[in-house]
C-alpha cells in the first residue's frame, strides 16, 4: 500500500480548478432531442442500417455501457474505467493532468514504447531515462535513483514493446510502492502473457494507472479504442479534460460487441500463441541451417531470438536493415528496431496467420539467395506447413456465404451464386474448392476489389506472380494450395491455373455491360503484349522463350502451361508474346499484362449497361 500518495498534490492546479465542458448528452439521451443542433431528419445516407440509422445523434460522452462491460471483463468497478481514442489519448491526458510544461519530467525505461517520449515532448515536458538491464529486466534501484522532485510519471511497458518480455510484477510493485507519484503500466499485450494483469493492485495503490487496448488481442486496431484503469478519482480527471465525444458511436458499438464475447478473443489469442511457437521454431531451424549452409547472397546469421509474451518476436540478424528492406520490396513488411537500446540489428516480426507466416519465410529464403531446387530443399528442412482450408477461410477478407448449387465437376468444385441483372452493382465474386489426389485448392476472388490478396501455393515466385494479378487487376484474391511438391511443381501450377480460370469464369457471370477486350504492357527492358477476349471460346497463343530453367522456384517450362490451363477454364481467347533480356522481368510482364487486360475487360461500360457485348447476343 502506497500511503504517501495524495492525488491533489500531483494534479496540476489549473486542472483541479478547471470547469469541464458540459455536452448535450451528459444528462439526456432519450426523448424529443432538440438540444444539440443535430440533424433531426437522420443521417444523410441512402440506406441507413441498424448500425448507422442513429448516427445523426451524438454518442454517449462517457460510453457507460462499454465501460461497464470492460469493468466486468477486467474485474474492476465501472468508475475505474476510461475509454479513449487509442491508448495514445490516455498517455496524452496523463501528461496534461500531472505535468506542467517546461517544468516537470516523466521517466521511461528504454527500450520501450516511443509514444511516451513523443507525447511528453509535444507538451514540453522533459524525459528522463532509466534503461532496462541488458537482460531486459527492470532495474528497480536505478529507476528509483533517477527520480527527482520534478518527476511526475513513470511509464513501464509490460509485456514490453519492442522486446516482448514481461517485467517482473514484484519489481513493478516495488516502484509503485516507493514512488509517491504516478506509475503507469502499459499492458497493451497482456492477454498474450502468462502473467496476469496488475489491475488487482488498483485498490492497494491509488497512484497506479494501467493502460490496455482493443487493438491487439481483440484485433480491433482499426477502431482505435484504448483503455485506462485507475482509481475513480483519476478517471474523473480523465473525463474532465477529454474532448466531449472522444469515442465515436460506430467504434463504441463494435467495441461493446467484442468485449461482451471475450471467449472469441481468447480463442484468437490461443491461435496466435500457437502460430508464435510455429514461427519461433522455424526461425530456430533457420538459425541452425545458416550455420551449416551460409546464405548465397547475404552474409548473415541469426544471433538471438528474444523470449516473447506478446504477439510478435524480436530477432537479431546480421545485416538486419538490409534484410528488412529486401523483404519490403517483396511485399513482406517487418519492423527494424535496431536503433533501440539493447536491440542492435533486430527485426520485430508480428505473428500473422499461417499463410502470412509462411509468406515471411518463403520471402526471407528468397532474399537470402537460395534459388530453384536449393530453395525447395530449405523449405523442406524448415517444414513449412500449410494452413488448413478452415484456417484459410478464417484468414481471408471475404465474407463467406452459403450456396445451394454446387458446380458439378469431378474435382468437387463449388462456387458463389452470381448476381442477377437487377444486382449488377453487387461485387462479382467466386469461391472455388478443388480437391484431387494431387492438390487441395481454395480460391476466393472479387472482381470489384482493391487488390487485397492472400496467396500461398508452396512456390514463392509463383505466389509473387499471382499477386500481380490481384494488385494490377484490382482483384481481391485469396489462393491456398497444398500440392504434391515432393514430386514436382507440375500439378500445383496446372491445378491453380484450372481453379483460377474456373473462379474467373464464374465471377464474370453473363458478362452483361463489360468491355470484353484488353492490353499491352512494358516493364523495364521487357515488353509483353497481352490480348484478351472474354469470348467464351478458349484458346491460347503463347510466344516467348526463356533462357533459364527456373526463376526462383518456378520452372519456366510451366509458364505456358499455366496460361493454357487458365485460358481453357476461363473460357477466353488469350494471346501473349513477350521479349526481354531478363527472364524474371519477362515472366512478370506477362502476369502484369494479364492483370491489366483482365481489369480492362471486366470493367462495366455504362453505355452498354445490361447488354451482352456481342452481336450474337451471348458470350
Identify whether residues 56 and 75 lie together within a single domain: no
Span 430-449, average pLDDT: 92
How far is 498 from 413, CA to CA, in rounded Å? 11
Q: For residue 209, what is its C-alpha cell? A: 494507472
pLDDT greater at residue 317 or residue 51: 317
What's the rounded mean pLDDT across residues 160-173?
98
The residue from 225, 260, 295 where one domain ends is 260
b/e per residue 388-424 (b: at least 16 CB within 10 A): eeebbbebbebeeeeeeeeeeeebebbbbeeeeeeee
**What is residue 471's predicted lDDT score, i.e. its pLDDT?**
93
- Cell 465474407 sits on residue: 399
- The DSSP element (H or E) to which 615 belongs, if any, is none
Mean pLDDT for 261-267 is 96
- Min mean pLDDT across 155-159, 193-197, 535-539 is at 535-539
Mean per-residue pLDDT over the chain, rounded: 89
pLDDT the model gives residue 615: 58
- Supply the DSSP string of 521-550, one letter for each residue: EEETTEEEEEEEE--S--EEEEE---S-SE
Cβ–Cβ contacts within 10 Å for residue 491, how many? 17
Q: What is the pLDDT of residue 417?
A: 38
What order do you get walking across the sheet with 429-435 strand by strand?
A: 429-435, 439-446, 476-483, 453-456
Task: Compute the distance between CA of residue 223 and CA of residue 213 in angstroms, rounded to an integer.
Answer: 11
- In this prediction, residue 413 carries a pLDDT of 36
The tens digit of pLDDT for each residue in 146-158 reads: 999 999 999 999 9
Residue 62 has pLDDT above 70, yes or no: yes
Residues 210 and 97 in one domain: yes
- The predicted pLDDT at position 584 comes to 93
**Residue at which a domain ends, from 260, 292, 313:** 260
Residue 610's pLDDT is 66
* 125-133 long-range Cβ contacts below 8 angstroms, 24+ apart: 125/95, 125/99, 125/100, 125/101, 126/150, 131/341, 131/342, 132/160, 132/341, 132/342
Residue 404, pLDDT score:
31
Answer whether 574's CB lies under 8 Å from 563's CB.
yes
Question: Which CATH number fits the domain that encloses residue 114?
Answer: 3.40.640.10
CATH of the domain at 554: 3.30.230.40
Would 395 be classed as within a structural domain? no
Closest CA to 172 of 135, 208, 120: 208
Lowest mean pLDDT among 154-163, 206-215, 498-507: 498-507
CA distance 610 to 599: 19
148: exposed, middle or buried (Cβ count in 10 Å: 0-12, 13-18, 19+)? exposed
Kindly report which listed range (27-41, 274-288, 311-325) carries the lowest average pLDDT score.
Answer: 27-41
What's the CA gap between 602 and 62, in Å, rounded?
48
536 or 10, greater pLDDT: 10
Contact (CB, 8 A) for 312 and 348: yes
| Structure confidence at residue 391 as a pLDDT band (50, 70, 90) | low
In this prediction, residue 397 carries a pLDDT of: 45
429 and 447 Cβ atoms separated by less than 8 Å: yes
Name the residue with higher pLDDT: 109 or 604: 109
More confident residue, 293 or 280: 280
Give the least confident one: 25-34, 221-230, 320-329, 509-518.
Answer: 509-518
Range of the domain at 494: 405-619
Q: Are residues 348 and 497 in the same domain?
A: no
Per-residue confidence (pLDDT) for residue 502, from 0 to 100: 93
Q: What are phi and psi of 10, to 5 degrees?
A: -110, -25
Residues 203 and 216 in one domain: yes
31, with CB counted inside 10 A (0-12, 13-18, 19+), is exposed
- Give the integer Cα–Cα distance in Å for 109 and 115: 13
Q: What is the pLDDT of residues 557-590, one digit of tens each?
A: 999 999 999 999 999 999 999 988 889 999 999 9
Whether residues 78 and 48 share a domain: the answer is no
Domain for residue 192, yes or no?
Answer: yes
| Residue 158 falls inside a structural domain | yes
What pLDDT score was predicted for residue 17?
Answer: 93
Q: Quote the pLDDT of residue 380.
A: 85
Judge if 347 and 443 occupy the same domain.
no
Residue 399 falls within a domain, yes or no? no
DSSP symbols for 339-364 = TSTT-TTEEEEE---HHHHHHHHHHH
Q: Per the domain annotation, does 155 fall within a domain?
A: yes
Q: What is the pLDDT of residues 115-142, one digit of tens each?
A: 999 999 999 999 999 999 999 999 999 9
Q: Does the structure show a pLDDT above 70 at 43?
A: yes
Q: So what's the pLDDT on residue 28?
A: 81
Q: In the 8-state DSSP scheme, what is residue 509? A: T
More confident residue, 156 or 418: 156
Indicate which CATH number applies to the domain containing 269. Answer: 3.90.1150.10
Residue 510 has pLDDT above 80, yes or no: no
pLDDT above 50 (res 37): yes
Query: Is the per-residue pLDDT at 396 higher than 50?
Result: no
Place of cell 533486430: 346
- C-alpha separations of 418 from 425, 507, 510, 610 in Å: 12, 7, 9, 15
* Res. 425 pLDDT band, cuts 50 70 90: very low
Determine the Cα–Cα distance for residues 379 and 589; give it in Å rounded to an integer. 27
Does the pLDDT value for residue 519 go beyond 80? Answer: no
Domain membership flag for residue 397: no
Q: Are residues 605 and 508 in the same domain?
A: yes
Same structural domain, 54 and 176 = no
Residues 529-540, mean pLDDT to the nearest whole number? 89
Q: How far apart are CA 126 and CA 71, in angstroms?
A: 33
Pick from 68-72, 251-255, 411-415, 536-540: least confident = 411-415
SS3 of 421, please? helix
Nearest to 358 by CA among 259, 436, 457: 457
Pick from 150-154, 164-168, 211-215, 432-436: least confident: 432-436
Query: Which residue stretches of 408-553 are H helix?
Result: 460-473, 490-508
**Model confidence over 333-387: pLDDT tens digits?**
999 999 999 999 999 999 999 989 998 998 999 899 888 788 878 888 999 887 6
Q: What is the pLDDT of residue 393?
A: 47
Claim to verify: residue 143 and residue 254 sit in the same structural domain: yes
If asked whether residues 49 and 71 sit together in one domain, one would say no
| pLDDT at residue 230 tops 50 | yes
From 333, 355, 385, give the residue that closes a domain.
385
Res 154: pLDDT? 98
| Within-domain flag for 578 | yes
Number of domains in the chain: 4
Residues 182 and 279 placed together within one structural domain of the fold: no
Q: Classify residue 605: in a domain, yes or no.
A: yes
pLDDT higher than threshold 60 for residue 408: no
Do 376 and 472 lie in one domain? The reply is no
Amino acid at each position: 500500500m502506497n500511503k504517501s500518495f495524495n492525488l491533489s498534490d500531483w494534479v496540476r492546479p489549473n486542472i483541479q480548478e478547471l470547469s469541464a465542458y458540459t455536452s448535450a448528452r451528459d444528462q439526456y439521451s432519450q426523448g424529443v432531442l432538440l438540444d444539440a443542433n443535430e440533424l433531426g431528419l437522420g443521417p444523410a445516407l441512402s440506406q441507413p442500417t441498424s448500425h448507422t440509422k442513429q448516427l445523426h445523434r451524438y454518442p454517449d460522452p462517457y460510453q457507460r455501457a462499454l465501460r461497464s462491460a470492460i469493468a466486468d471483463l477486467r474485474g474492476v468497478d465501472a468508475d475505474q474505467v476510461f475509454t479513449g481514442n487509442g491508448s495514445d489519448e490516455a498517455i496524452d491526458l496523463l501528461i496534461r493532468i500531472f505535468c506542467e510544461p517546461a517544468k516537470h519530467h516523466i521517466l521511461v525505461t528504454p527500450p520501450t514504447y516511443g509514444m511516451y517520449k513523443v507525447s511528453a515532448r509535444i507538451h514540453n515536458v522533459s524525459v528522463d531515462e532509466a534503461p532496462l538491464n541488458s537482460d531486459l529486466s527492470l532495474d528497480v534501484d536505478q529507476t528509483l535513483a533517477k527520480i527527482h522532485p520534478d518527476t511526475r510519471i513513470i511509464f513501464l511497458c509490460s509485456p514490453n514493446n519492442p522486446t516482448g518480455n514481461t517485467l517482473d510484477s514484484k519489481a513493478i510493485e516495488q516502484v509503485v510502492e516507493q514512488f509517491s507519484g504516478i506509475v503507469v503500466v502499459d499492458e497493451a499485450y497482456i492477454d498474450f502473457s502468462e502473467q496476469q494483469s496488475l489491475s488487482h493492485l488498483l485498490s492497494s495503490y491509488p497512484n497506479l494507472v494501467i493502460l490496455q487496448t482493443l487493438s491487439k488481442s481483440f484485433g480491433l486496431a482499426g477502431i482505435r479504442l484504448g483503455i485506462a484503469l485507475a482509481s475513480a478519482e483519476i478517471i474523473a480527471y480523465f473525463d474532465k479534460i477529454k474532448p466531449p465525444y472522444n469515442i465515436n458511436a460506430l467504434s463504441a458499438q463494435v467495441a461493446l460487441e467484442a468485449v461482451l464475447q471475450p471467449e472469441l478473443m481468447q480463442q484468437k489469442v490461443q491461435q496466435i500463441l500457437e502460430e508464435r511457437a510455429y514461427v519461433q521454431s522455424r526461425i530456430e531451424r533457420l538459425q541452425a541451417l545458416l550455420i551449416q549452409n551460409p546464405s548465397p547472397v547475404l552474409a548473415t546469421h541469426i544471433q538471438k531470438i528474444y523470449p516473447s509474451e506478446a504477439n510478435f518476436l524480436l530477432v537479431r540478424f546480421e545485416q538486419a536493415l538490409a534484410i528488412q528492406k529486401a523483404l519490403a520490396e517483396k511485399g513482406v513488411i517487418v519492423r527494424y528496431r535496431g536503433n533501440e537500446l539493447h536491440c542492435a540489428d533486430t527485426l520485430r516480426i508480428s505473428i500473422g496467420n499461417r499463410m502470412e507466416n509462411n509468406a515471411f519465410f518463403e520471402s526471407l529464403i528468397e532474399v537470402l539467395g537460395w534459388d530453384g531446387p536449393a530453395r525447395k530443399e530449405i523449405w523442406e528442412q524448415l517444414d513449412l506447413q500449410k494452413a488448413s482450408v478452415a484456417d484459410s477461410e478464417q484468414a481471408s477478407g471475404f465474407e463467406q456465404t452459403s450456396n445451394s448449387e454446387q458446380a458439378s465437376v469431378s474435382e468437387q468444385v463449388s462456387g458463389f451464386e452470381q448476381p442477377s441483372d437487377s444486382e449488377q452493382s453487387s461485387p462479382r465474386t467466386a469461391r472455388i474448392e478443388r480437391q484431387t489426389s494431387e492438390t487441395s485448392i481454395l480460391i476466393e476472388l472479387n472482381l470489384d476489389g482493391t487488390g487485397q490478396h492472400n496467396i500461398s501455393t508452396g512456390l514463392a515466385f509463383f505466389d509473387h506472380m499471382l499477386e500481380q494479378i490481384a494488385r494490377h487487376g484490382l482483384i481481391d484474391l485469396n489462393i491456398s494450395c497444398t500440392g504434391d511438391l515432393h514430386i514436382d511443381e507440375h500439378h500445383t501450377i496446372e491445378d491453380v491455373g484450372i481453379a483460377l480460370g474456373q473462379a474467373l469464369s464464374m465471377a464474370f457471370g453473363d458478362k452483361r455491360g463489360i468491355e470484353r477486350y484488353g492490353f499491352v504492357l512494358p516493364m523495364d527492358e521487357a515488353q509483353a503484349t497481352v490480348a484478351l477476349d472474354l469470348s467464351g471460346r478458349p484458346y491460347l497463343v503463347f510466344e516467348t522463350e526463356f533462357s533459364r530453367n527456373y526463376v526462383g522456384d518456378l520452372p519456366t517450362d510451366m509458364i505456358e502451361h499455366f496460361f493454357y490451363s487458365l485460358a481453357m477454364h476461363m473460357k477466353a481467347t488469350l494471346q501473349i508474346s513477350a521479349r526481354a533480356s531478363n527472364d524474371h522481368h519477362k515472366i512478370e510482364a506477362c502476369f502484369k499484362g494479364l492483370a491489366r487486360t483482365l481489369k480492362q475487360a471486366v470493367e462495366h461500360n455504362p453505355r452498354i449497361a445490361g447488354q451482352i457485348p456481342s452481336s450474337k447476343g451471348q458470350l
